Structure 1
Amino acid sequence: MPQPTVQLADGYLNRTPIFQFILLSCLFPFWGCAASLNDILITQFKSVFALSDFASALVQSAFYGGYFLIAIPASLVIRSSSYKLAIILGLTLYIIGCALFYPAARMATYTMFLAAIFAISIGLSFLETAANTYSAMIGHRDYATLRLNISQTFYPVGALMGIVLGKYLVFDEGDSLESRMASMTAQQIHAFRLTMLENTLEPYKYLIMVLLGVLLLFMLTRFPHCKPQAVQRHAAPGMAETLRYLAGNRRFCRGVLAQFLYVGLQVAVWSFTIRLALTLGANNERHASNFMIYSFIGFFIGKFIANCLMTRCNVQKVLIAYSVIGVAMLAYVMLVPNFSAVYAAVGVSALFGPCWATIYTGTLKTVENRYTEVAGAVIVMSIVGAAIVPALQGYVSDYLGSMQRSFGVSLLCFAFVGYYFWGELRHQERRRTALPATAQGKF
């Protein structure tokens, strides 16, 4: 007889319900797919709408700005109802956002596309706020980071799927878009731009069909509540009290800043890898998009290796090493003026994998149980770094006239992430030193 699933007082479970955990983990590819399609859209919109690097990066600002605005409302939904309801709402809003690409393509304005992307991000904010915390809690507390890292392993699968869909459904064969438009008349350019915008609809058609199936599965499946019993018995703390508590928690604040910069540097590198390849000699957009495929394969492999290393070695030491190597590779991207810099940018992706989940669960563990839902939402809000850092990197690229040198922005972010993990390692060592010998043995 399998052991029954029992919810413990802190909201965690005595064991992980496998089917529900797998279904929950299957959500993670969906925001990976949406995020990687943004990398395709940035390249497509830059040429079609004749944008600067800064303006094209506003795709990410619209996308991740939604996370910042909606994460707290999503946490309130979770606190007043359940993780499952927040997920169902997120999937529904995601579908609506994808559907808005149809009027956006008809109107053919950059602003309308940004509005559709923002609508998708609202749904994804509900999904991520619920799924990240839920994945950490749907089992024993001691394995929270491992569970979230396993769920996050599905992210590059979705990211890879988004790039492949974009490569074959949005980009086409032939010379680059800029090269082709250079020999067209104004009327031909207008018709060509409309055709290219129609191509952006294709990936979202398939996404809508898959999302409807997943939504039905979630509606029909029972999920554990995973709420701390103390919160269920007594009134939950007010928002003002919660935010005061979180603001006064220094480790929590450092974790939020590290997550802000980590997500920002990850999205900045991925946003401009295709542009970097085109700048350094790729034949066209479809050819350049191959390097994003390699990036997500590297992301997956790097995450798998890190998961193995973190079961045998100190987690913080593994991630400090990843950060140091990442800074060195980004310095190579900045300073070496040939196509090998593109491969270095691809290599950086292999170092991203374990950072998000480790920062997330480590930061969440610094707060008391009754603040968990809002704390998780605040960490998700730090994703707004992806709205700011890529735009800043785009601005630096325009200002310096060098796509390569702009990767210095990502380098500085990775350096801080490494510094954060070093600080966490020092905290662990101080705590271990302060414990009596008997307690150390229990760790």
Structure 2
Amino acid sequence: MQSIQKVQTPKVPCSKKHYIFKLYASQLDDGYLDRIPIFQFILLSCLFPLWGAAASLNDILITQFKTIFTLSNFASAFVQSAFYGGYFIIAIPASLVIKKTSYKIAILVGLLCYAIGCTLFFPASTMGTYGVFLVALFAIAIGLSFLETSANTYSSLLGPQKTATLRLNISQTFYPIGAAIGILLGKYLIFGAGDSLEKQMSGLTGADRISFGEQALQKTLLPYKYIIIILVIAIIIFAITEFPMSKPKQTNTQDAKISETLSYLIKNNAYLKGIFTAFMYVGMQTAVWSFTIRLAMTLNHSINERSASTFMVFSYIAFFVGKMIANLLMDKISASKILLIFSIFGTLTIAYIMVVHNMSAVYAAIFVSGLFGPCWATIYAKTLDTVAERQHIATAGAVLVMAIIGGAVIPAIQGLAADYLGSMSYSFVVNLVCFAVVVLYAVGQVKYDRLTKEIQEG
């Protein structure tokens, strides 16, 4: 049985006695807690909808920018490239902040950078160039990289180890709530009523076209004003709440070298398989959501951007329902088997989107979002479980977050496929390949679980 150590708190300006919300749990030697601190866990889980809103607004921006800046599908996908590229670059620095300070400090840094990135939308809308908007999105991604690098791993640590995967799945359930809110903000604050932007701008030339585009870009500011307010409130609440360090006692995590950790991870085949699967999954999820609005408008030329964005609201509702169903099933079925079942049905559904060229394909895309439910959290938690030497856990989590770069690569590939094939429907073949990778990973996990059980019982 593990011994219990006294919980260390992050070094912040105020002393421990000044915390308004105290921690009522004890930390174990491996970094986990003896019980789940409910308030801290809920507060941490509330970070997930914050980056969910930012990610879903990208789907709105892709549609908006494609028309205003007259972009190809490939060029419009650079919204996701700038966004997820920030994740890739900052994940390792974020892990260093965690190792030198604490998860809480990294979260506060992330919230602050997120707010700064949202503020950059104001000069970007005034300058009115695509490149400046990409810079603002990259800045937001820096903050979100800190948040995801911290919160995904931290959620799994805030309680006993045996419920780590379920805990992360529960936290991830908050994500689609924020994503749906982001789409609704874009639907009513960015997209207007009437004809689609493409139809409205088709008859405009010269100064009139430029003026119309500038007015449309000004609307992109509105959602980010509300997000900034929420971020300021979140910074204050996190600052006055006590959180555990959640670092292993038996190893000196703060002295662990990045080079040693990377050397350990690169020799861990199971971990590398998890990284590749995470890369393909996040890329697929991002691509499906990036092009669902475009798919709807391609299959039905009579609807505008505001109407088409409703399908994304349904997608995030389906995502939420899928997560809830997966969480409930985990009481009776292993996470690996649930991942396998969901991914098999997901692969078949994407095949349907490719071959059926009517609006039922859009509803199939919504159904696919429901099948995304258990994927990221299960892949993330299972991959972290392969890191036996716990002094490497912070950096291992950061490298996993770096796999989110798939969100920058796969949508661009699908956009290129759509331009080359001349069909948005056929471009979903890219996602078919990605989901097939998840199926193969899940098969391997089911076999591993069975072998582990046989060894334990034998």
Asked if these proteins are the same fold (TM beyond 0.5), I'd say yes
TM alignment of 1:8-87, pairs within 5 A: 8-87=28-107
Quote the residue 2:451 is aligned against. Answer: 430
1:314 CA displacement: 2.2
The answer to whether residue 315 in structure 2 is matched with residue 295 in structure 1 is yes
Residue of 239, 245, 249 corresponding to 2:258? 239
Q: 2:55 is matched by which residue type in structure 1?
A: A
Quote the residue 2:215 is aligned against. Answer: 195
- Give the Cα separation in 1 of the matches to 2:116 and 2:128: 19
Q: Secondary structure at the match of 1:267?
A: helix
Quote the residue 1:280 is aligned against. Answer: 299
Does the CA-based 8 Å contact 2:24-2:37 persist in structure 1?
Answer: no
Q: Secondary structure at the match of 2:371?
A: coil
The answer to whether residue 129 in structure 2 is matched with residue 124 in structure 1 is no
Q: 2:182 is matched by which residue type in structure 1?
A: G
Residue of 264, 268, 278 corresponding to 2:287? 268
- Give the Cα separation in 1 of the matches to 2:299 and 2:457: 58
- Give the Cα separation in 1 of the matches to 2:243 and 2:444: 37
- Give the Cα separation in 2 of the matches to 1:299 and 1:32: 12
Quote the residue 1:440 is aligned against. Answer: none
1:325 CA displacement: 0.6
- Give the Cα separation in 1 of the matches to 2:402 and 2:376: 13
Residue of 219, 223, 227 corresponding to 2:243? 223
TM alignment of 1:98-109, pairs within 5 A: 98-109=118-129
| Range with bigger deviation, 309-318 or 253-262 | 309-318
1:238 CA displacement: 1.3
- Give the Cα separation in 2 of the matches to 1:113 and 1:127: 21
The answer to whether residue 204 in structure 2 is matched with residue 166 in structure 1 is no
Output one character per residue of 1:27-77: Cα deviation in whole Å (capped at 9) or x when no partner. Answer: 000000000000000000000000000000000000000000000000000
The answer to whether residue 392 in structure 2 is matched with residue 390 in structure 1 is no
Quote the residue 2:111 is aligned against. Answer: 91
Q: 1:149 is matched by which residue type in structure 2?
A: N
Residue of 328, 342, 362 corresponding to 2:382? 362
Output one character per residue of 1:227-279: Cα deviation in whole Å (capped at 9) or x when no partner. Answer: 100234x7632111110100000000000101000000000000000000010
Residue of 388, 405, 409 corresponding to 2:426? 405
- Give the Cα separation in 2 of the matches to 1:45 and 1:114: 11
- Give the Cα separation in 1 of the matches to 2:205 and 2:110: 44
Q: 1:400 is matched by which residue type in structure 2?
A: L
Residue of 120, 133, 150 corresponding to 1:113? 133
Q: 1:428 is matched by which residue type in structure 2?
A: D
Output one character per residue of 1:318-347: Cα deviation in whole Å (capped at 9) or x when no partner. Answer: 111111111111011101111111111111
Does the CA-based 8 Å contact 2:115-2:140 persist in structure 1?
Answer: yes
Does the CA-based 8 Å contact 1:389-1:409 persist in structure 2?
Answer: yes
TM alignment of 1:250-261, pairs within 5 A: 250-261=269-280
Deviating runs (4+, > 4 A) in structure 1?
none
CA 1:97/1:418 → structure 2, altered by over 3 Å: closer, same or farther?
same
1:435 CA displacement: 3.4
- Give the Cα separation in 2 of the matches to 1:235 and 1:107: 44
Output one character per residue of 1:171-199: Cα deviation in whole Å (capped at 9) or x when no partner. Answer: 00010111111122322111100001000
Quote the residue 1:374 is aligned against. Answer: 395
Does the CA-based 8 Å contact 2:166-2:330 persist in structure 1?
Answer: no
Quote the residue 1:315 is aligned against. Answer: 335
TM-score (norm 1): 0.97
| Range with bigger deviation, 122-131 or 277-286 | 277-286
Does the CA-based 8 Å contact 2:339-2:378 persist in structure 1?
Answer: no
- Give the Cα separation in 2 of the matches to 1:150 and 1:319: 15
Quote the residue 2:10 is aligned against. Answer: none
RMSD: 1.3
Q: Secondary structure at the match of 2:26?
A: coil
Q: 1:381 is matched by which residue type in structure 2?
A: M
TM alignment of 1:346-357, pairs within 5 A: 346-357=366-377
- Give the Cα separation in 2 of the matches to 1:235 and 1:327: 42
CA 1:303/1:74 → structure 2, altered by over 3 Å: closer, same or farther?
same
Does the CA-based 8 Å contact 1:236-1:370 persist in structure 2?
Answer: no
Gaps of 5+ in 2: 1-22
- Give the Cα separation in 2 of the matches to 1:77 and 1:4: 25
1:429 CA displacement: 1.7
Q: 1:378 is matched by which residue type in structure 2?
A: V
Q: 2:331 is matched by which residue type in structure 1?
A: T
The answer to whether residue 162 in structure 2 is matched with residue 152 in structure 1 is no
Q: Secondary structure at the match of 1:54?
A: helix
Q: 1:401 is matched by which residue type in structure 2?
A: G
Q: 2:419 is matched by which residue type in structure 1?
A: D
Does the CA-based 8 Å contact 1:171-1:286 persist in structure 2?
Answer: yes
1:356 CA displacement: 0.7
Q: Secondary structure at the match of 2:27?
A: coil
Does the CA-based 8 Å contact 2:99-2:254 persist in structure 1?
Answer: no
1:430 CA displacement: 2.1
- Give the Cα separation in 2 of the matches to 1:285 and 1:56: 15
Quote the residue 1:214 is aligned against. Answer: 234
Q: Secondary structure at the match of 1:230?
A: coil
1:436 CA displacement: 4.5
Gaps of 5+ in 1: 438-443
1:5 CA displacement: 1.4
Q: Secondary structure at the match of 1:231?
A: coil
